[in-house]
């Protein structure tokens, strides 16, 4: 079984930070590290749209004109930390690298319509036509970019899907069919990657699990199980087998600074693996570790805690196989 990490770390951006983090991840034996995200996973992908003149940013929020986005062609962007990590990591002995790409629904949910009141309904996620066109194409270009750079695992980070896809209904006019079609299209653009996955943190419904398991061109489904143990009840072995999917389990909290023991992680992994019929690989923590920055008084301490969590995941997995 392989090990990986979702993306973020509780350090501020600084020269050489990618090299430092990747060297530390190599030291603990992580198999598929991400390019380290020390910037917000939203800012990494929305700031380029501001520079391209398609969005505005003020008061820490992003704003856009729906009609302008409907008629716009998404720009090709560059992610400096992703390009730097490819150059650096080649000498560190990893099995491969994970390329996190913030998903279409999550980005749309962070862009307010000018004049909106700040609620989710006044964001672009309430405009299915824009999600299904501009944001789908933009994220597809970013997924293709990651594969072209040489990332062997390309993941769409889509926490917003856990919000809009409930057990009984799907919000804002989106449908199971439209979501599956968009995700399949984006994953297909990363066809050069060895594996293509989706990450959804927080609680998920059985409906969302089944929907994601049905998406062709996706190989891996990554959910949290430490802070949301009820997600185990949403696992469907039958859906995983039918869709030929692998479950990537989150086994340590990304918010609580307490470091889980190897035995605790191993026990959770066993429960998840049993529910999934053994279709489990690419163990990780629940989410990225940026939230640990607010859980301690010192970012260096938060970073150390994150590394210890990943180190214990590596130890638990090695003792399991």
CATH T-level topology, domain 17-151+159-240+249-305: TIM Barrel (3.20.20)
**Could you give the CA distance from residue 45 to residue 42 in angstroms, rounded to a whole number?**
6
pLDDT for residue 321: 44
- For the chain, the structural domain boundaries read 17-151+159-240+249-305
Contact (Cβ atoms closer than 8 angstroms) between residue 151 and residue 90? no
pLDDT in tens, the chain (321 residues): 999 999 999 999 999 999 999 999 999 999 999 999 999 999 999 999 999 999 999 989 999 999 999 999 999 999 999 999 999 998 899 999 999 999 999 999 999 998 777 789 999 999 999 999 999 999 999 999 999 999 999 999 999 999 999 999 999 999 999 999 999 999 999 998 989 999 999 999 999 999 999 999 999 999 999 999 999 999 999 999 999 999 999 999 999 999 999 999 999 999 999 999 999 999 999 999 999 988 888 999 999 999 999 999 999 998 754
Long-range (24+ apart) CB contacts under 8 A made by 50-56 are 55/111, 56/114
Name which of 228, 318, 212, 311 is nearest 268 in CA terms: 228
Beta bridge partner(s), residue 34: 98
Contact (Cβ atoms closer than 8 angstroms) between residue 272 and residue 235? yes
**Could you give the CA distance from residue 51 to residue 59 in angstroms, rounded to a whole number?**
17
pLDDT for residue 115: 76
Q: What is the DSSP letter of 191?
A: T
Looking up tokens 């090299």, which residue turns up? 19
Name which of 81, 178, 80 is nearest 136 in CA terms: 178
Looking up tokens 């194409």, which residue turns up? 137
pLDDT tens, position by position, 40-85 = 999 999 999 999 999 999 989 999 999 999 999 999 999 999 999 9
Beta bridge partner(s), residue 57: 62
């Amino acid at each position: 079984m392989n090990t990986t990490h979702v993306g973020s770390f509780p350090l501020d951006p600084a020269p050489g930070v990618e090299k430092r983090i990747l060297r530390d991840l190599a030291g603990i034996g992580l198999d598929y590290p991400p390019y380290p995200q020390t910037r917000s996973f939203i800012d990494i992908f929305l700031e380029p749209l501001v520079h391209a003149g398609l969005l505005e940013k003020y008061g820490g929020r992003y704003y856009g004109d729906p009609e302008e986005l409907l008629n716009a062609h998404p720009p090709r962007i560059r992610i400096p930390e992703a390009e730097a990590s490819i150059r650096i990591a080649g000498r560190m002995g990893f099995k491969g690298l994970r390329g996190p790409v913030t998903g279409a629904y999550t980005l749309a949910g962070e862009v307010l319509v000018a004049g909106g009141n700040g609620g989710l309904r006044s964001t672009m996620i309430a405009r299915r036509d824009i999600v299904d066109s501009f944001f789908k194409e933009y994220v597809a270009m970013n997924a293709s970019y990651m594969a072209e750079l040489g990332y062997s695992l390309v993941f769409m980070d889509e926490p917003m899907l856990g919000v809009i896809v409930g057990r009984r209904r799907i919000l804002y006019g989106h449908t199971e069919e439209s979501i599956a079609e968009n995700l399949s299209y984006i994953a297909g653009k990363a066809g050069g990657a060895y594996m293509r996955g989706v990450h959804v943190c927080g609680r998920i419904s059985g409906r969302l699990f089944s929907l994601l398991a049905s998406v062709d061109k996706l190989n891996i489904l990554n959910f949290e199980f430490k802070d949301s143990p009820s997600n185990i009840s949403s696992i469907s072995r039958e859906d995983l087998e039918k869709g030929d999917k692998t479950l990537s389990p989150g086994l340590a909290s990304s918010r609580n600074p307490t470091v889980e023991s190897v035995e605790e992680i191993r026990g959770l992994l066993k429960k998840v693996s049993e529910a999934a019929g053994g279709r489990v690989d690419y163990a990780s923590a629940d989410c990225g570790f940026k939230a640990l920055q607010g859980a301690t008084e010192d970012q260096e301490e938060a970073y150390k805690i994150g590394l210890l969590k990943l180190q214990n995941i590596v130890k638990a997995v090695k003792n399991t196989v």
